[in-house]
Chains A and B, each alone.
Chain A
Amino acid sequence: MQFFTTQLLNGLTSGVVYAMLAVGYSLVYGILQQINFAHGYVYMFGTFVTASLITSGCPLWLAIIAGLVAGAVIAIAVERFAYRPVRGNRLAPTVTAVGVGLIIENVARLIWTSKIRPMPFPFQTDIIRLGPVVLSPLQIVVAVVGIAMAALLWIIITKTDLGRAMRAVKDDLATAELMGVPVDRVVVTVYVLGALFGVVGGILYGAYYNTLSVTMGFSGTLNAFTATVIGGIGSVWGAFAGGLLLGVLQAMVTGYVSSALLNTVTFGLLIAFLLFRPTGIAGVHVASRP
């Protein structure tokens, strides 16, 4: 029971991180039916800005804000120069996204080298004992931030004018524009929101796992992308559900089956969902939308 609880908490923690990273895919896909392949690179860059500022002694809050700003600025640039010129085209944005992703990764390599680096963060070595279960204060931070971000997303989507415009653009982009929605601005805002969630996820990742590398833009993406597909790509709540589910599943496979099967299970899930249930657990029929 204690072992189960420990693995469950481990799984939920990584699940929240996956969910943060997955939201960036789902928000963009939900609105433009386009997989945002540059997402991983954007949040990697923002996270590195935060990490290197923390390392150089900058106050934590300032480092986090700087990372978020960097992520937002890059997302704006990527949208403007890699996506907007080819919007509506199915294949071209994938190509431009991968291209721009490589540029971002190489710039990151130039600035921070390819070395894997730690990310100093408060509470990293502290533990809390709850009976036999050992908990990290950072797990509580991850949970609180995860809940807060989910609440924020819920407010944005259901309670704000921006959220309404986002949903209108998703339903019918052309009509939304004719009704006065500045579609370009809404789309860029969606990219920025995705990047902000990604950087938050990246910072949680760095803080909790204390290890960052510029390749996280690519490799770190596998889990986030799988979570997105499990949850139903295009559904932001699906991204949360998929993230938590994947995290817990991985922890349970590691705990009760074998760590050697971890990647097999993750890839297997990704492929199985893509083949047999492309709409994910949420079952949103994105493909049938105009």
Chain B
Amino acid sequence: MTADMNQTPAVDEALSVSNLTLRYGGVTALAGVSLVVPRGAIVGLIGPNGSGKSSFINVVSGAYRGPYEGEVRINGMDVRHMPAYRRAASGMSRIFQGVRLFDTLTVEQNILLGGHIHYSTGYVAGILRTPPARREMAARREQAKEIMALFGDRLLPRADQQVLSLSYANRRRVEISRALMTSPRLLLLDEPMAGMNPHETEELTDQLRALNHAQAMSMLLVEHKMSVIGDLCANVYVLNSGTIITQGPVGVIQQDEKVVEAFLG
């Protein structure tokens, strides 16, 4: 862990991607994409369907395991040869475009799983239920409770329910809670508001903003709802057919002809 810290360069960028090119067989999904999420910022990534937003998040998070060109640095570290779970350990987490939960686990267990990587008492101590292991277990549950509390009484009363019995919005909240449980410094959000009604969208927008302020958590936000992008992001990248066509403050890019054309065409 300390070795990793030592590698962190002075430039404080939560995510820095340069010249990322990704091909699925013959299809070029990303062509020389460069993008930076400064520490503590929420950066937007928008683009029409199939422009490569999810592919971008998959490369960064390690969900995509194939070869790519270019460089991806998370919290300063080149992650090319880093397995996904180590990226998670290094302070990155994500949610998925379609909610992905562990269906046989309860709400609390799903969230607790996010803490797996930080367990310091090993498997054997856990099985023997040594006092340190019990203490750690209790601390994790406390932490999970705090995270659930971020969503008011949406999750707390349902902690012991199977996740399959939850509403879509609540499943999304569990997924975000699970990601938060890994204590990320960089959070990748792939369309978190999809499937949420206006009220729920507003609520979640506030909660993300609060997280960003309170914990200086950097975020990369892929979102179709421009109001959310406008509310949360200072800087927005626009992706079209695998290329960044422009970037800038929301107000500016919304006027950009290329952007309008990309979304309409």
Contact = CB atoms under 8 A, between A and B. Distances in A.
A and B touch in the complex (CB under 8 A): yes
Interface of A: 152, 155-156, 159-162, 164-165, 167-168, 170-172, 174-183, 189
B116 interface: yes
B240 interface: no
Contact of A164 (B103, B113, B127): B113
A162 B182 CA distance: 16
A160 B123 contact: yes
Contacts of A167: 102, 104-105, 109
A160 B133 CA distance: 9
12 contacts: A161-B137, A167-B109, A168-B102, A171-B102, A171-B103, A178-B84, A178-B94, A179-B113, A179-B114, A179-B178, A180-B182, A182-B117
Contacts of B96: 175
A172 B119 CA distance: 21
Nearest to A189: B123
Best-buried of A168, A171, A180 by chain B (most CB within 10 Å): A180
Nearest to B90: A180
Interface string B24-49: 00000000000000000000000000
Contacts of A159: 129
Interface in B78-131: 83-85, 88-89, 93-94, 96, 100, 102-105, 109, 112-119, 123, 126-127, 129
A282 to B, nearest CB: 14
A160 B105 contact: no
Contacts of A178: 61-63, 84-85, 88, 94
A177 B83 CA distance: 8
Contacts of B117: 179-182
Nearest to B102: A171
B116 A165 contact: yes
Contacts of B85: 177-183
A156 B128 CA distance: 9
Given A152-B127, A161-B116, A165-B116, A180 B89 contact: yes
Contacts of B119: 161
B93 to A, nearest CB: 7
Contacts of A189: 123
Contacts of B93: 179-180
B86 to A, nearest CB: 8
Nearest to A182: B85
Contacts of A179: 85, 88, 93, 113-114, 116-117, 178-179, 182
Contacts of A176: 102, 113
Given A155-B129, A164-B105, A164-B113, A175 B123 contact: no
Contacts of A181: 85, 113, 116-117
Contacts of B102: 167-168, 171-172, 175-176
Contact of B113 (A152, A168, A174): A168
A180 B83 CA distance: 10
Nearest to B136: A161
Contacts of A180: 85, 88-89, 93, 114, 116-118, 182
A24 to B, nearest CB: 17
A240 to B, nearest CB: 18
Given A171-B104, A179-B114, 18 more contacts: A152-B127, A160-B123, A161-B126, A164-B105, A168-B105, A168-B116, A172-B102, A175-B96, A175-B100, A176-B113, A177-B83, A178-B63, A179-B113, A179-B116, A180-B85, A180-B88, A181-B85, A182-B85
Contacts of A174: 63
A177 B89 CA distance: 11
A156 B103 CA distance: 19
A167 B110 CA distance: 10
A167 B127 CA distance: 15
Closest 3 CB pairs of A and B: A180-B117, A180-B88, A171-B102
B123 A171 contact: no
Nearest to A162: B123
B168 to A, nearest CB: 17
Nearest to B121: A161
A164 B112 CA distance: 8
Contacts of B63: 174, 178
Contacts of B94: 178
Contacts of B104: 167, 170-171
A177 B129 contact: no
Contacts of B114: 179-180
